[in-house]
Structure 1
Amino acid sequence: MTKSTGEKARSRNRVQQIREGIHLRSLKARKKVEDITKDDVKTFLRKNAFVLLTIAAVVFGILMGFALRSYKMSYREVKYFSFPGELLMRMLQMLVLPLLVSSLITGMSALDSHASGKMGMRAVIYYMTTTFIAVFIGIIMVLIIHPGKGSKDEFTKQQKIEQVSPADAFLDLIRNMFPPNLVQACTQQFKTQYSKRIIHVKMIVNESIFNLTNTTQEIAQEEVIPLPGTTNGVNALGLVVFSMCFGLIIGNMKEQGQALRDFFDSLNEAIMRLVAIIMWYAPIGILFLIAGKIVEMDDITEMGGQLGMYTITVIIGLMIHGMIILPTLYFVITRKNPFIFITGLLQALITALGTSSSSATLPVTFKCLEENNKVDKRVTRFVLPVGATINMDGTALYEALAAIFIAQVNNMEMNFGQIITISITATAASIGAAGIPQAGLVTMVIVLTSVGLPTDDISLIIAVDWFLDRLRTTTNVLGDSIGAGIIEFLSKDELQNSDVELGSSVLEENEKSTCMLFKQNKKYLDTFWLSYFE
Structure 2
Amino acid sequence: MAKDQRSFLRRNLLTILTVIGVVGGSVTGIILRNALGKWNKRDTMYLAFPGEIFLRMLKCLIIPLLMSSVIHAIGSLDLSLSRKIAFRSIFYYSATTVSAVILGMILVVTIRPGVGVKPMEASNEKYVTREVLTQDTLLDLIRNVFPPNIVQACVSQSQTYLIKPENASLPSNQTNHTIVKNLETWSFEERYESTTNVLGLVTFAIIFGIALGKLGERSKPLLDFFEAASEAMMIITNWVIWLSPLGVYFLVTAKVMEIESFLDLIGRLGLYFTTVLLGLAIHGFGTLSLIYFIAVRRLPFNVIAELSQVLVTAFGTASSSATMPITIQTMDKMGLDPRVTRFVIPIGATINMDGTALYEAVAAIFIAQLRDKPLTFGKTVAVCVTATAASIGAAGIPQAGLVTMVMVLDTVGLPSEDVINIIAVDWLLDRFRTTINVMCDCLGAKLVDILSAGELGDPVTSVDRVNAEPQELVELKHDSRI
| TM-score, reference length from structure 2 | 0.90
Deviations 1:406-456 (A, max 9, x none): 110110111110111111111111111111111111111111112322221
Whether 1:317 and 2:279 are equivalent positions in the alignment is yes
Q: Equivalents in 2 of 1:361, 1:280: separation in Å?
A: 13
Q: Equivalents in 1 of 2:367, 2:131: separation in Å?
A: 16
Deviations 1:349-384 (A, max 9, x none): 00010000000000110111110x211111101100
Query: Quick one: which amino acid aligns to residue 509 of structure 1?
Result: R
User: 1:151: Cα distance to partner?
Assistant: 4.1
Q: Equivalents in 2 of 1:153, 1:129: separation in Å?
A: 34
Name the structure 2 match of 1:39.
Answer: 3
Name the structure 2 match of 1:64.
Answer: 28
3-state SS, counterpart of residue 438 of structure 1: coil
Q: Identity over the aligned pairs, expressed in percent? A: 45
User: 1:228: Cα distance to partner?
Assistant: 1.3
Q: Equivalents in 2 of 1:510, 1:138: separation in Å?
A: 42
Q: Equivalents in 2 of 1:322, 1:505: separation in Å?
A: 28
Name the structure 2 match of 1:3.
Answer: none
Name the structure 1 match of 2:104.
Answer: 138
Name the structure 1 match of 2:263.
Answer: 301
User: 1:117: Cα distance to partner?
Assistant: 0.3
**1:490 aligns with one of 436, 451, 463:** 451
Matches within 5 A, 1:53-452: 53-70=17-34, 71-72=36-37, 73-154=39-120, 157=123, 159-160=125-126, 161=128, 162-197=130-165, 223-303=185-265, 305-371=267-333, 373-452=334-413
3-state SS, counterpart of residue 413 of structure 1: coil
Q: Equivalents in 2 of 1:318, 1:352: separation in Å?
A: 14
Against the structure 1 CA distance between its residues 302 and 261, is the aligned structure 2 distance closer, same or farther, given a 3 Å change threshold? closer
Q: Equivalents in 1 of 2:286, 2:147: separation in Å?
A: 39
Name the structure 2 match of 1:206.
Answer: none
Against the structure 1 CA distance between its residues 75 and 336, is the aligned structure 2 distance closer, same or farther, given a 3 Å change threshold? same
Against the structure 1 CA distance between its residues 46 and 330, is the aligned structure 2 distance closer, same or farther, given a 3 Å change threshold? same
> Which structure has the larger Rg over C-alpha atoms?
1
Against the structure 1 CA distance between its residues 221 and 354, is the aligned structure 2 distance closer, same or farther, given a 3 Å change threshold? closer
Against the structure 1 CA distance between its residues 300 and 251, is the aligned structure 2 distance closer, same or farther, given a 3 Å change threshold? same
Name the structure 1 match of 2:15.
Answer: 51
Against the structure 1 CA distance between its residues 505 and 241, is the aligned structure 2 distance closer, same or farther, given a 3 Å change threshold? closer
User: 1:251: Cα distance to partner?
Assistant: 1.2
Q: Equivalents in 2 of 1:506, 1:237: separation in Å?
A: 25
Q: Equivalents in 1 of 2:412, 2:440: separation in Å?
A: 28
3-state SS, counterpart of residue 104 of structure 2: helix
Contact 2:119 2:370 in 1 (8 A): no
Q: Which runs of 5+ in 2 are unaligned?
A: 169-181, 471-482
Name the structure 2 match of 1:216.
Answer: none
Question: What RMSD, in angstroms, separates the aligned Cα atoms of the two structures?
Answer: 2.1
3-state SS, counterpart of residue 82 of structure 1: helix
Contact 1:318 1:475 in 2 (8 A): yes
**Residues paired across the two proteins, number:** 453
Against the structure 1 CA distance between its residues 412 and 382, is the aligned structure 2 distance closer, same or farther, given a 3 Å change threshold? same
Query: Quick one: which amino acid aligns to residue 148 of structure 1?
Result: G
3-state SS, counterpart of residue 250 of structure 2: helix
Q: Equivalents in 2 of 1:129, 1:135: separation in Å?
A: 10
User: 1:296: Cα distance to partner?
Assistant: 1.3
Contact 1:149 1:306 in 2 (8 A): no
User: 1:154: Cα distance to partner?
Assistant: 5.0
Against the structure 1 CA distance between its residues 353 and 163, is the aligned structure 2 distance closer, same or farther, given a 3 Å change threshold? same
Q: Equivalents in 2 of 1:296, 1:44: separation in Å?
A: 36
| TM-score, reference length from structure 1 | 0.81
User: 1:304: Cα distance to partner?
Assistant: 7.2
User: 1:458: Cα distance to partner?
Assistant: 1.2
Name the structure 2 match of 1:26.
Answer: none
User: 1:224: Cα distance to partner?
Assistant: 1.4
Q: Which runs of 5+ in 1 are unaligned?
A: 1-35, 201-219, 518-534
Contact 1:311 1:464 in 2 (8 A): yes
User: 1:403: Cα distance to partner?
Assistant: 0.6
Name the structure 2 match of 1:509.
Answer: 465
Contact 2:354 2:437 in 1 (8 A): yes
3-state SS, counterpart of residue 234 of structure 1: coil
Query: Quick one: which amino acid aligns to residue 107 of structure 1?
Result: A
Against the structure 1 CA distance between its residues 494 and 375, is the aligned structure 2 distance closer, same or farther, given a 3 Å change threshold? same
Matches within 5 A, 1:456-471: 456-471=417-432
Q: Equivalents in 2 of 1:492, 1:91: separation in Å?
A: 34
Name the structure 2 match of 1:18.
Answer: none
